[in-house]
Amino acid sequence: MIANALRNLELDAVPVATPTGRLVGASGLLLEAVGCPLHTGQRCQIETVGGDWLDAQVVGFRDKVSYLMPFKKATGLTTGARVLPIHEKTTLKIGMGWLGRMVNGLGEPIDGLGKLTGEHELDSQPPRINPLRKTPVHEPLDVGVRAINSMLTLGKGQRVGLMAGSGVGKSVLLGIITRQTVADVVVVGLIGERSREVREFVDMSLGPEGLKKAVLVIAPADESPMMRVMATEMCHTIAAYYRDQGKNVLLLVDSLTRYAMALREVALALGEPPATKGYPPSVFSNLPQLVESAGNGENPSGSMSAIYTVLAEGDDQQDPVVDTARAILDGHIVLTRSLAERGHYPAIDIGQSISRCMNSIISKEHMLAARSLKASMARHDRVRDLIPLGAYVPGADPVTDKAVQRHPYIEHFLCQGTKEDAPYTACVENLERLMA
Ligand SMILES: Nc1ncnc2c1ncn2[C@@H]1O[C@H](COP(=O)(O)OP(=O)(O)O)[C@@H](O)[C@H]1O
Ligand SMILES: [Mg+2]
């Protein structure tokens, strides 16, 4: 037995040669390697002319050629460069120590605050939940935004889209929600946005108190598409971890469109044919997989709600990503430019937005008040253009008169300053009082 152990020790000390492959092609994002067995999803390193090693992942193969995609911008690669397969699984350790920290798509800290430590191993993918064992959505989630809490109540475990063109206030709204929500942990994925926006989001929108309970996963627009895809998946895995630890988690992803665009870049590089608006079909099968990994798990004491921003380019609500998001999410909040232009912030268009879980989680009185507010707004919209012309004459229809008279109060109720807090119970009480 001792001899055996000794022999093992000796053998362990003998260096074993690792077979390396060779780079034979690089076109666009895709690198081609031959000469060593690689499997899809495997990590490897490629030697550059400067002697550095570039990290990449195997994304496909044909015959003996493996296709790799680098994590960083590929420079200094030559034909015949060594490709070193990595066999050990890289695992990350996660715990409550991750709160207040910022990581990239590989889970490496990028905030200069030192190593990340934790007591548990982070899965490489969010665990798949049997749909029959998912904890149902039955409790409201306080997001601290009056228009949402009262008119588009979200539930713990619900996944919604925040749809709008650029510059309408998506990021600012996410910042308000991160600061004011009563969730225990907020995981924020900043995917494919401008780097300047990242700093702005952290300093201005989030602030120190928002950051304390948040984990940020960041992959700005200048990151490789692989990193953007991995960062989006990473924030789902992190959120699922805290959910399974029994925490109420809110996941915010800005933006789902940029994730779809990164998937498009990867799929097109691999030779998949483009279909709708240049998006290959695999993009539309990946989106539901991602969204399905959010939501509640089997542990009833934890929950995971998610808000995805979706860019409606040119305020186009027919964009294929917008369409898909609408179909796979449990609701959508539409922000419109016309409201933002009037200074009505948050620019939520109540009429176009819907929360599919709302009716099953709120009281009857709340539901009636919300319905009555919607009806009142619709009435007012009918005569909106007549009022400034002086063509609206009160007295013909008492319901419309009431709607017109109430309108300024409703607008005031739906607007909210960025520093103003709006707890759930107060929102509901105010709504019921307003519509009484
Ligand atoms: N709640 C708000 N209150 C005041 N101004 C806002 C609000 N939301 C957005 N804005 C204005 O709109 C601009 C763009 O908002 P932003 O959230 O960055 O847009 P998006 O993320 O949709 O591109 C902000 O710089 C700010 O001037
Ligand atoms: Mg933004």
H-helix segments, 245-391: 256-269, 281-292, 320-328, 337-341, 358-361, 364-383, 386-389
Residue closest by Cα to atom 5 of ligand 1: 345
Residue closest by Cα to atom 11 of ligand 1: 169
13 pLDDT band, cuts 50/70/90, is: low
State which ligand 1 atom lies nearest to the alpha carbon of 205: 17
Mean pLDDT, residues 28-56: 89
**Torsion angle (degrees, nearest 10) of CA 172, 174, 176, 181:** 180
C-alpha 190 to ligand 2 mean position (Å)? 9
Mean pLDDT, residues 375-402: 85
Instruction: Give the ligand with the smallest distance to the CA of 220.
Output: 2
State percent of the chain over pLDDT 90.
55
| CATH numbers and ranges of domains, the chain | 21-85 (2.40.10.170), 93-359 (3.40.50.12240), 366-435 (1.20.1270.330)
C-alpha 171 to ligand 2 mean position (Å)? 4
Q: Which residue type, as a one-letter code, is found at position 185?
A: V
Tens of pLDDT, residue by residue over 299-317, are 888 999 999 999 986 656 6
Whether 16 has a pLDDT exceeding 80, the answer reads no
Mean pLDDT, residues 203-220: 88
Cis amide bond preceding 255, omega within 30 = yes
C-alpha 88 to ligand 2 mean position (Å)? 38
Whether 4 has a pLDDT exceeding 80, the answer reads no
Q: Tell me which of 124-133, 273-282, 343-352 is least confident.
A: 124-133
Whether 53 has a pLDDT exceeding 70, the answer reads yes
Residue closest by Cα to atom 4 of ligand 1: 345
- Going by the DSSP 8-state scheme, the letter that residue 384 receives in this structure is T
Whether 94 has a pLDDT exceeding 70, the answer reads yes
Res 91: pLDDT: 84
Q: Tell me which of 176-185, 204-213, 262-271, 292-301 is least confident.
A: 204-213
C-alpha 220 to ligand 1 mean position (Å)? 19
Q: What is the mean pLDDT of the chain?
A: 89
Res 182: pLDDT: 86
The CB density around residue 264, as the number of other CB atoms within 10 Å, is: 20
C-alpha 214 to ligand 1 mean position (Å)? 21
**Among 66, 38, 11, which Cα is nearest to 270's?**
66
75 pLDDT band, cuts 50/70/90, is: confident
Res 282: pLDDT: 92
Whether 9 has a pLDDT exceeding 60, the answer reads no
Mutate to test the pocket of ligand 1, among 172, 255, 308 (most ligand atoms within 8 A of CB): 172
Q: Which residues line ligand 1 (CB under 6 A)?
A: 164, 166-172, 345-346, 418
State which ligand 1 atom lies nearest to the alpha carbon of 200: 18
CA dist 112 → 79, 95, 109 (Å): 35, 18, 7
Sign of CA dihedral 427, 430, 435, 436: positive
Mean pLDDT, residues 109-129: 88
Residue closest by Cα to atom 15 of ligand 1: 169
C-alpha 145 to ligand 1 mean position (Å)? 15
State which ligand 1 atom lies nearest to the alpha carbon of 176: 1
Q: Tell me which of 63-67, 192-196, 265-269, 352-356 is least confident.
A: 192-196
Instruction: Give the ligand with the smallest distance to the CA of 162.
Output: 1
C-alpha 346 to ligand 2 mean position (Å)? 13
Mean pLDDT, residues 139-157: 94
Q: Which residues of 196-227 are buried (b: 16+ CB within 10 A; e: fewer)?
A: eebebbbeebbeeebbebbbbbbbbeebbbbb
**Among 19, 23, 27, 28, which Cα is nearest to 65's?**
23
Query: pTM for the full model?
Result: 0.90
Mean pLDDT, residues 162-168: 90
